[in-house]
Amino acid sequence: MHKDVNTDDLPEGITPLGNEIYAIDTMLAGYPGVVSAYLIRTERPCIVEVGTAGSAAVLRDAVIRLGLSPEDLATIVVTHIHLDHAGGTGDMAALFPNAEIVVHERGARHLADPSRLMASAKMVWGDRLETLFGHMRPTEASRIRSVAATGEIDLGAGRKLVSHYAPGHAKHHMGLVDTVTGDLYVGDALGVYNPLTGDLRPATPPPDFDMDACLSTLRLFGDIGAQRLMFSHFGAVDGVGEKLDRAERELRLWVETVRDSHDTGGDLDHAVAMVKDKVISRYKPLPPDASPDAAAVLDILSGAEANVGGIVHWLDRLAQEQADAAKKAAEERA
């Protein structure tokens, strides 16, 4: 039996969203407003997103504050296995002993054995890896359930989360729809929403970014007819259709700007400079009381350098595929 929760007396970092849903700031690297997890406090309680290894204790304390014991949690689900979303999965599994861990099938083996994922992250982040993300602990394989194109998570009393494969940002990415509320947990598929400014910018990191897959995912999300978008970065947002349209416009603008630089022989630094000048300069400044450190962390995770790097990687891959196809066609004609 869940204890009642006085929503007027919740600490900062826990936000009631109605229908037994609570947003929990995971305090990535100690900073607010970077990664949001969500507790769905139903008959079979579920957490969506876990943040980093350092976030596990934050989530445990929030779950207890919201009237549950760690043993009550039935499911932990991550939209994808990037460390800012899933780095704490092993620690969470240890803290919540009865929870099933749900992930897309392309990410499951990396939760069971994070060694390759951590090695890759070390190459990308270097000395910042430990500070930002900590170390992902393995999750017992028997507790992991992988889903494919679609899947279901039982929340009790006929309520479910339905998963939908949603690549483009990453090959192991999925979105989740609450069958009662119509909430759509979008992970990074729409990009990064800043509730302080209302800006929405894409998240296009290497090595998996794929423009066509991103656009297909946005169309899929439009077809779902969601009532509200639950961003991992950051918070619950209404105006679904407008946000989906905005996400597509921003994505196309970023890609076109990088393509212009790429096609004229510009290097990565040139493309970053063009994006900052033509794209990022459009975004609103943060309010004076915003945390500059939190903004800096978000910029590291999904700023110009990371996004441009992913777009350039995709353009190079596209060019190679076209060259290979042309070569094959020439050989067949010969």
Q: Decide if pLDDT at 299 tops 90.
A: no
The better pLDDT of the pair 239, 323 is held by 239
**How confident is the model at residue 190, as a pLDDT?**
96
**How confident is the model at residue 330, as a pLDDT?**
78
Q: Decide if pLDDT at 327 tops 80.
A: no
| pLDDT 10s digits, 24-43 | 999 988 888 899 999 999 99
The better pLDDT of the pair 137, 8 is held by 137
Strand partners, 38: 23, 48
Give the residue from 287, 192, 297, 299 showing the smallest Cα distance to 246.
192
Structural domains of the chain, with CATH: 9-333 (3.60.15.10)
Q: If residue 221 lies in a helix (H) or strand (E), which one and from where to where?
A: helix 211-224
The rounded distance, in Å, linking the Cα atoms of 21 and 61 is 16
Q: What is the reported pTM?
A: 0.93
| pLDDT 10s digits, 169-215 | 999 999 999 999 999 999 999 999 998 888 999 999 888 899 999 99
The rounded distance, in Å, linking the Cα atoms of 235 and 25 is 9
What single DSSP character describes residue 203?
A: -
Mean pLDDT, the chain, integer:
91
**How confident is the model at residue 248, as a pLDDT?**
97
pLDDT band at 1 (very low <50, low <70, confident <90, very high): low
3-class SS of residue 193: strand
Say if residues 166 and 174 touch (Cβ distance below 8 Å).
Answer: yes
Say if residues 207 and 313 touch (Cβ distance below 8 Å).
Answer: yes
Lowest mean pLDDT among 72-86, 163-177, 293-307: 293-307
The rounded distance, in Å, linking the Cα atoms of 248 and 243 is 9
Mean pLDDT score, 2-8: 74
Amino acid 302 reads S
Quick one: tokens of 220?
């899929």
The rounded distance, in Å, linking the Cα atoms of 280 and 284 is 9
